[in-house]
């Protein structure tokens, strides 16, 4: 049986580094199918810093990412409780084992663990063999395991919990690698074989600094609120410090699970690139089921004042505009092109479409050509020939009429593909917009 765990502290939001650690543990457990279990354990012994909001943020972020756990505070399991604040009796029992073995002593009210004074080598699946010489007492003083107030330190409870919960693989950031030698000595004192360790590279900003809570993209909530799809974020996070050893980057989760292994984890620190995450999101957004995406953005569409009663129309619009965006949060603005009988003429579009001599007359001629098309024949197959005929009369090419037509239709210099937009708007709305824009251009 393979048992991995993620053990966050509820002292703030779920950090992207923590989410990556959770993901690697989840992937390794899921890779082993029915033989793999992923445990969520909450290290909530810091009463001064723990908050209910932070506790909820952990569950929210994990659930949004799809990192389901087999055992945890909300699900229970055979090795609970899964909150450290509820495990004091277990810690007391293990502490007595150290007392009986003569491995702890009191020092000014606190209790210190007596290290063995010899070189300690830890084998890590990523870093290889790492040795710390415990004969140098100045560099490796005996560590406090129980404070003078009776509380236990992280190193002690972490090891006890991993023993009690039968954790077989500890996958965590390599800032914990130097602590592992302390943990190995505790395992030895308890007469327990240590788990297999794999320390993952830290996530750094592009300037080489360690990613902090204040950095953009550090909070999982920022992805939830920022228009990202969880599948895209998972794909992005999986490649922060791990390589599938193939050229493809956009990988379905099933393939990531299948390919994941310690041999693909890099020793070098991973560089965080939020723009690359947006790129991943764009790839997933193009492939995502339209109905699912529409459900995600309906509240935002309603907030933007866009009618949402015609679901088929909204899906048609979504399929037209999704290639233009990277985030779902950008979609409502594009939907806005398809609703409303007037358009506001932007200054840059006005200058480019109507600023030269003769351009206003051309725009008026375009409006006339559109008016000549029967409303029952309002589609590209009839609109294009009418524009082509007008171009012939004006001694130009039809392509030269498309930009002024776009500005007449939208008031802007850019936007969705023009013919599908005009078809969806219909004759009445298209002409109403064009006439309003033309009046603004003359003003």
Distance CA(98)–CA(113), nearest Å, equals 8
CA atoms of 42 and 11, how far apart (whole Å): 11
Starting at the edge strand found earlier in the chain, the sheet holding 104-107 runs 104-107, 110-113, 143-146
Of the candidates 87, 79, 45, 83, the one whose C-alpha atom is nearest the C-alpha of residue 166 is 79
Residues 6+ apart with CB under 8 A from 232: 277, 280, 281, 283, 284, 285
**What are the DSSP calls for 216-265, one per residue?**
TT-BHHHHHHTT--HHHHHHHHHTSSB--SSS-----HHHHHHH--GGGB
Strand 196-200: give its sheet, edge to edge.
128-133, 119-124, 196-200, 169-173
Q: From residue 123, give the alpha-carbon distance in Å to each of 22, 127, 163, 187, 329.
A: 22, 8, 18, 14, 46
CA–CA separation, 137 and 156 (whole Å)? 20
**3-class DSSP assignment, residue 77:** coil
Rounded distance between C-alpha atoms, residue 401 and residue 181, angstroms: 73
Helix, strand, coil percent values for the chain (each to nearest 5): 50, 15, 35
Place of tokens 């037509």: 405
Neighbours of 226 (CB within 10 A): 18
- The sign of the CA dihedral 425, 431, 432, 435 is positive
20 vs 31: CA distance, rounded Å = 16
* 111: β partners: 106, 146
Q: Is 213 annotated as a binding residue?
A: yes
C-alpha dihedral (156, 157, 158, 164), degrees to nearest 10:
110
Q: Is the dihedral of CA 430, 435, 438, 443 positive or negative?
A: negative
Asked if 29 contacts 36 with a C-beta cutoff of 8 angstroms, the reply is yes
Number of helices and strands in the chain (H, E): 17, 11
C-alpha triplet 25, 218, 324: angle, nearest 5°: 100
> For 229, phi and psi rounded to 5 degrees?
-95, 135
Annotated binding-site members for ATP = 213
> Binding site, residues?
213
């Amino acid at each position: 049986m393979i048992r991995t765990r993620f053990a966050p502290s509820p002292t703030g939001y779920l950090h992207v580094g923590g989410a990556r650690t959770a993901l690697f543990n989840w992937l390794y457990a899921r890779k082993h199918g029915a033989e793999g279990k992923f445990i969520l354990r909450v290290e909530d012994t810091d009463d001064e810093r723990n908050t209910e909001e932070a506790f909820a943020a952990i569950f929210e972020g994990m659930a949004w990412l799809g990192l389901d756990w087999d055992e945890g505070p909300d699900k229970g399991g055979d090795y609970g409780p899964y909150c450290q604040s509820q495990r004091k009796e277990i810690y007391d029992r293990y502490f007595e084992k150290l007392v009986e073995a003569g491995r702890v002593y009191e020092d000014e009210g606190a209790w210190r663990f007596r290290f063995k004074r010899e070189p300690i080598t830890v084998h890590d699946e990523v870093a290889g063999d790492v040795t710390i010489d415990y004969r140098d007492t100045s560099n490796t003083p005996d560590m406090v395991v129980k404070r003078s107030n009776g509380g236990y330190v992280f190193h002690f409870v972490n090891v006890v919990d991993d023993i009690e919960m039968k954790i077989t693989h500890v996958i965590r950031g390599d800032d914990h690698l130097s602590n592992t030698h302390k943990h190995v000595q505790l395992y030895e004192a308890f007469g327990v074989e240590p788990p297999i360790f794999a320390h993952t590279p830290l996530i750094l900003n592009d300037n080489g600094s360690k990613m902090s809570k204040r950095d953009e993209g550090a909070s999982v909530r920022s992805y939830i609120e920022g228009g990202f799809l969880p599948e895209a974020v998972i794909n992005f996070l999986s490649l922060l410090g791990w390589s599938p050893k193939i050229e493809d980057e956009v990988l379905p989760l099933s393939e990531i699970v299948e390919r994941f292994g310690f041999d693909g984890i890099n020793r070098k620190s991973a560089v965080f690139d939020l723009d690359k995450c947006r790129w991943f999101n764009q790839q997933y957004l193009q492939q995502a089921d339209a109905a699912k995406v529409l459900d995600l953005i309906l509240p935002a569409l309603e907030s933007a004042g866009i009618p949402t009663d015609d679901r088929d129309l909204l899906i048609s619009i979504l399929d037209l505009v999704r290639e233009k965006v990277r985030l779902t949060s950008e979609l409502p603005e594009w939907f806005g092109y398809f609703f409303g009988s007037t358009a506001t003429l932007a200054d840059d579009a006005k200058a480019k479409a109507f600023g030269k001599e003769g351009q206003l007359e051309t725009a008026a001629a375009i409006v006339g050509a559109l008016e000549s098309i029967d409303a029952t024949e309002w589609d590209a197959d009839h609109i294009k020939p009418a524009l082509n005929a007008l171009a012939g009369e004006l001694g130009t090419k039809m392509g030269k009429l498309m930009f002024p037509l776009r500005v007449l239709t939208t008031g802007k210099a850019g936007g969705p593909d023009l013919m599908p937009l005009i078809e969806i708007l219909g004759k009445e709305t298209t002409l109403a917009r064009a006439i309003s824009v033309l009046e603004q251009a003359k003003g």
